[in-house]
Chain A
Amino acid sequence: MWFAEAGTATSASVLAAVPACGVRVLRPRAMLRCGGFALGGAAGAGVCGAGAPGGMAVAQRRAELAAYLDNAATTPMLPEAASAMAQVLGVDPGTWSDGLFANPSAVHRWGLAAAECVSAARRALAERIGAGESEVVFTSGGTESNHLGVLGLCRAAVRRGRHVVTTAIEHRSLLCAWDALAADGWEVARLPVGGDGRLSPEDVAAAVRRDTVLVALTHVNNETGTVQPVRQIAAAVRAAAPGAALHVDAVQALCKVDTPYAAWGVDTAAFSAHKVGGPKGTGALFVRRGTRLVPPVPGGEQEAGLRPGTENVPGIAGFGAALRADAGGGRRLTDLKLRFIEGLRSTLPGILVNGPDPADAAVAAPHIVNLSFAEVASLPAEVLLHAFEAEGIACSAGSACHARRPEPSHVLSALGLRGARLRGSLRFSLGPATRAAEIEWAIARIPVAIARLPRVAMPR
């Protein structure tokens, strides 16, 4: 019966029923289905099994999105970001203009206006990370930024050595960069992490060699929320191997934890707009002044020659607006996250936290928590995910970037998780748009969803 129940009430009435303080009616964000048809919310509620007695039989109503807890995969656009993009595109509601369509490289005043729009966004990011405006290069997103940073640094330093130090829990985009380097004869050292996912600065110092060209790591792990001690690692690298560059994947760190990369001595850091309420297809790379990169794509003069091609002005404008609109809110997200864990565990005490202690802000990012349901439902994470989906709750099994692959997460494996605990783990992630009502909804409905699942033993 769960399909029917989840969809019968509108999101507004459902949320009103949740005993939560300050309930705000969510915009009915209907889950769009890919493909030729969309069944979302009310539109899909009437699909009928023809010929049933009594007229239309309601079938498989689609649950509306009542609690979006997959912000580490992507965030909904902040209204400020959407509005900034609309202005650039010239589709601001009520008006129809050309927007800021001119090429920012053009020397006429319309081009200059577009260039000013790009540099306003550049300033917004530079301020966030304590860098200079000239140290920010816009790209197409986190993956490109990672590749530009890592491959660019390695190509620039290839005469000094072919040794790279990284961790065992990197994001797929970096794993692919390592494969590319390894195929070119590079040596890639992957350092193990502790049970909380942390890398020790001493291990990094011990692993770097005279010919180490690059140390690369993720500031906030996308699956467990583990925060690496980047400042200490940067210092350790400087002391042990002054010639080695340091690249940081800061995609999940931006707007969530402190990111003064210039001050810490980080050489390059990768960012993505759509993880902070901005649009997809836009990202940035911090490149510390004086750092030499050899860009993989040669070409134009844009972005200091590091990233040829006409700038994605609307995307960059949206990125800048999202950065200005997001007040950080780390404390708020931490509180919501702790409430979520505490609320869930009050009904399902068998739920375990994977990775760092969520209350320790130095080690755990405010917005990501990874939970193991192995003790409360012996089922693979995907089944739980879909059962929660039926309740209007979106979360993720591992990282969405490879969620469609059946292999268990390499990150959780590296943390020492095995067997049922590994395969029964889900990631819940919060973002700037997350409301308390969503957390309360998830706390109330997850136990219900689990109780409805028939007892099926997890295959060994």
Chain B
Amino acid sequence: MNPISLEVFVVTLGIAMLMLESFVVSTDKRYLAWLGIAGLAIAFGASFFARPEFIPPNAPYASFYTADGMAMFFKRFSLLATILVLVMTIDYTSVIERFVPGETKGAGVGEFLSLPVLTCAGLMWMVSATDFIAIFVSLELVTISFYVLVAYLRRSEGSLEAGTKYLILGALSTGFIVYGITWIFGVTGRTNLAAIAAVLPGLPAASHTALLFGVGLVLVALCFKVAAFPFQFWVPDVYQGAPTPITAFLSVGSKAAGFIVLLRVLQPFLDFGPLHGKLETILLLLAGATLIYGNLSALPQRNLKRLLSYSSVGHAGYLFMAVASLGVAFARPAIEFYLSAYLLMTFLAFIVMALVSRSVGGDDISHFAGLARRSPWLAGAMLVAMLSLAGIPFTAGFMGKLFIFGVAIEAGHYWLVVLGALTVACGFYYYLLVVRAMYWQAAPEYAPEISVSLAGRVSMGALALLIFIVGIYPQSLLAFLG
């Protein structure tokens, strides 16, 4: 099977969902979520039959599109993330109905369900893109659908503010990436990454400054996408204001695809001797600054959504540690492993948070007080997520950090490892604050029963189980990495 048929299928699925929402008379739109989940699950299964050999070598898209192991792994990753977003949305429809104006009940839910499916197609193209033009258009597809999704809850001021902020800063970062691509194209005359790698050695030494300038601009824009320093300041407000399923999608899907693009874009320039040293210095500084900023800013947070947003910046820092050590053979698998662990624990935390905040009416840490006595299972799931995010042994998060630190030591970046270990200690403090609230504090007076749908229960159980399986037996995941 030709791998590109997966994206075609996902786009068709998104359009079919839109059509059904327009023509089928029903106020309960949740069947669309089930249709989407089923369709994406079919694509997930079909992805194991897709082989890059089925792309005709003379096809016009062959120079824009690759289906190597990393691309296929992250196509599955995007499909899984989107399925989890749809599962979260099933329990979230009441909030959408409250905050989106409409003539009939359930207005706006259909679009809210089909947009992530189209975004998923964009993510799948992004991880396959091998040409600056394909990178740019797929990146924009993803970013523009996120603008819409973040601002979706029109009656909520927070959501509108988040949408406006994300739009303006996103447009700025788009400007950076286009300008950077222009410089790289101006120096090399190519937009294809493989072609750029081929012409780099023949360039006159005088062009290297211009090339570094272009790569630097592209790097700044990609830092925006993966929420890394110096372009991280949008993260807390946007994460807090956006609808919770979209926050989870943004923090996992957008970040993972951004890192894959970063790896693909940096590879030719890191392999090019004269730029290697300078780029490595830049990446090391970015990693250090992101680690410090993300983890220190998370310390005083008392709102769980903001806390998780700063922790998302912190995790970008750990990932950058491995990006700065790309010369080590195990660096790529370590990044892929870390991103997969990050998917498991972040989605688990966000699913629990969406359920609790929907019933209690807020997402401060104090809203989680006494959760262990009210809903022991939800508290247990959150406990697993927090332990894994902090990096306690026998969880996926621990193995991810272990691999990343191992790679950084092998590359000789000892000071970065020391910094990483110190920031992990910060992480213990703020992640365990949530655990303390759940297990050792009295419940607030208003503490209604929290009902969980079957899909929510199954996905939480599966995620928690996978966190332990991957944490105890990491080979089970490493075998799948490209």
A and B bound?
A: no
B interface residues (Cβ-Cβ under 8 A, vs A): none
- A interface vs B, CB < 8 Å? none
